[in-house]
Structures are given as structure tokens and as C-alpha cells.
Amino acid sequence: MPNKINLFSFLISFVFIFSLGCANNFAFANEEHGAAEHASKKFNAGKLIMEHVSDEHGWHILTLGEGTEHEKHIALPLPIIIYSQTKGLVVFSSSNFVNHETHHAQAYQGYSLDEQKIISEDASEVFYDLSITKNVFALFISLALMLLVFISVANTYKRNPGVAPKGLQSFIEPLIVFLRDEVVKPSIGHKYHKYLPFLLTLFFFIFFNNLLGLIPILPGGANVTGNIAVTMVLALTVFGITLFSAKKDFWIHIVNTPGVPWWLKFPIPLMPIIELMGLISKPLVLCLRLFANITAGHIIALAFFSLIFIFGEMSAGVGYGVSIVSVAFTIFMNFLELLVAFLQAYVFTLLASLYFGSALEEHHHEEAHH
């Protein structure tokens, strides 16, 4: 199938061009540490892990000559976009935060980086950091990938309708049909058509980003679905749609819960408070579950790798010995994460559709008997 080969070769060349491009064409963001600094430097597993699972300005790829005088960090510089209430829009490359001659961190246009957080020299300045960070860039890559995959699949469908699926289509179709028939339709009921496109986008967004997060090099490796901002936006979108599509019964259930004694609602509105807490906890749980699961997966995989270096600092032989166990455990974790990648996307979508379903539910008490 020429179509499939095209897509795969595109993806592979995409990865290669990016990795080569980063090494050759993009500006090197070099950092050299002084001798005094690196003498005190010991391997810090906690710092390494936190750096990997959090966001950063610019995309760090690898460090050459680590611990020596000529330590070099190869990174893909990303645009820094700052909207300041006094200066307006400020845009520059993240490589400007590193001095090209001394390779030390430096301030640029009145801003500097502190632990990947942009701070202004003018403490009273109010500004918003809208930079294309590592996670934003990874987000764009994953969304571009989604557009590419699903629009090409849609075109295949349009080209030969009524024919059994082929290639990428036959991978996507069972997922779509599964979500439609096993997740969305039973949870929402006959009005599922309206919510299906959003829930499909949601599922594949989480699934793609979870999988991309498992790839250790550039187009993947970012912790997008393990970032609280991303999961928060997803959870709040689900929450917003739930509230907007909620029917009268849904609100009655919160304000005046049927089937409970009146003294639980008046004079102290105990039930409404509990119901309200339940309502608010739903998006909170959605947001935290995805964030915690994916971040935990990344942390565990990195922790196994860190073990090698912790033991390696004691003695090189022990480091090599531990590496066998660590690699074995990391492989196991990767397989587990493959499962988690699907499972979390599934759970998020399932819960979102259950919330939509509960918001749409009418004649609550008649239905309860079924």
C-alpha cells in the first residue's frame, strides 16, 4: 500500500530531519561550567527526573562532555513569547538566555531564567509567559500528527467508501467503533452524536500524547499529558460541556436532591453542599488522575535509569551490573506504560462521556428502576 509507506516514511524522515537538524543547523545552546562548579557537582537523580517531567524553555536533547570543563548542552531553541503590560509583546529565541562566548546563563531584554521560570529584572512588571515551551512544541507536533493521520484516514474513507478498511484505517477504525459502541453510546444514550467528535478528539489526543511521551528522543519524550496545565484544560473543557448541556433534572438533583429527608437540605443545605463538592471534584479528579498516572510512569522509568548512575558513582562495575536490572525493569515499565497510555485515554473518555450522560439524564427516578 503506497499510502501507508508514504505516511511511515514521512514520520521516519520527520524524526531524522529533526534530530539531524538539531545537531547541525540549529544554534547550539552551549553551557560550560567552571571547574569550581563542577567539582562539587554530584549526580542528582531528583533534579534530573524533575527536569525531565517538567516543562522547559528550549528542548534539551543531550549533554556532551558532562562533568568536564567543555560541557556542552545540545538543545533545540524555541521561541520565547512574553506579553508584558509595559513593554507589549516581546519575542526572542530561548538560545539568547545562554551567552554564546562564555556559555553561561545570561539575562536578555530584561528577562532571565530561573529554574525554567522566566523572571523579570523589574520586579513590579506584570507579564505573561506565552512561550512556545517544550510541552507546547510537543503539543503542536502531536496535534499535527493527529491532523495528518485522521485527515489521511478520512480521505481513504472518502476515496473508497463501503470497502473493508486497509492500512492505517484498519488500526483506527476498531478504536473509533469501540469508543462509539462501547463507551459513548452506552454512557450518553441516543444523543451521543453531538458529543462523539469531541470525545474522539479527546481520546486520540490523550492516546497520541501518551504514546509520544514514551519515545525518548525529540518528537516524543515530552510529558504533555503528564502536565497539569494540559490535563486541566481537558478536564475543564469536559466540565464546561457538562454544565452547558445539563438538563433541568441535573440541576434539581444538586439543589434539591430527591429522595433525601428535608432536614438534610434545610436550614443547613448539607446535601446541596455535598452535591456541589461532588460536581467540582469530578473535573479535579479527571485532571489529577491523568497527570499523576503519566508523570508517575515517566518518573519510575527515569528512576530506574538513575539507579545506574547512582551505583556507577560508587564504582563503574556496580553501575554496569545494576544497568542490566535497570534496563530490564525499564523495558517492563515501557510495556506497562503502553497499556497505561491506552487505559488512561480510555478512562478519561469513559468518565467524560459518563458525565455528559448524567448531565443529559431526564426522568431520573424512572430510569433508576431499569
Measured from the CB atom, the residue of 30 and 295 that comes closer to another protein is: 295
Measured from the CB atom, the residue of 173 and 361 that comes closer to another protein is: 173
Sequence-distant (≥ 6) Cβ neighbours of residue 293 within 8 angstroms: 226, 340, 344
Question: Cβ atoms within 10 A of the Cβ of 266, count?
Answer: 11
User: What does the DSSP assignment read for 65-101?
Assistant: STTSTT-EEEEE--EEEEEETTTEEEEEEGGGGB-TT
Binding mask 236-255 for another protein (x = CB under 8 A): -x------------------
For another protein, the binding residue among 131, 293, 323, 344 (CB under 8 A) is 131
Q: Which stretch binds another protein (CB under 8 A): 98-106, 221-229, 265-273, 324-332?
A: 221-229
Closest contact distance (angstroms) between CB of 122 and another protein is 19
Cell numbers 521560570 label which residue? 117
Q: Based on the shown chain and the rule CB under 8 A, indicate whether residue 130 belongs to the binding site for another protein.
A: yes
Q: Based on the shown chain and the rule CB under 8 A, indicate whether residue 53 belongs to the binding site for another protein.
A: yes
CA-nearest of 286, 168, 281 to 237 is: 286
Judged by DSSP in three states, 315 sits in coil
Q: Based on the shown chain and the rule CB under 8 A, indicate whether residue 338 belongs to the binding site for another protein.
A: no
Q: Based on the shown chain and the rule CB under 8 A, indicate whether residue 48 belongs to the binding site for another protein.
A: no
Q: Which stretch binds another protein (CB under 8 A): 62-70, 111-119, 265-273, 276-284?
A: 111-119
Q: Which stretch binds another protein (CB under 8 A): 8-16, 128-136, 305-313, 321-329?
A: 128-136
* Distance in angstroms (rounded) separating the CA atoms of residues 273 and 254: 8
Gap between the terminal Cα atoms of the chain: 49
Q: Based on the shown chain and the rule CB under 8 A, indicate whether residue 229 belongs to the binding site for another protein.
A: yes
Report how far apart, in Å, the C-alpha atoms of 323 and of each of 38, 67, 103, 297, 317 are: 25, 20, 32, 19, 10
Report how far apart, in Å, the C-alpha atoms of 44 and of each of 48, 66, 298 are: 6, 13, 17
- Per CB under 8 A, residues contacting another protein are 50, 53-55, 81, 115-117, 128-133, 135-136, 139-140, 143, 146-147, 150-151, 153-154, 157-158, 161-162, 172-173, 176-177, 180, 196-198, 200-201, 205, 227-230, 232-234, 237, 295
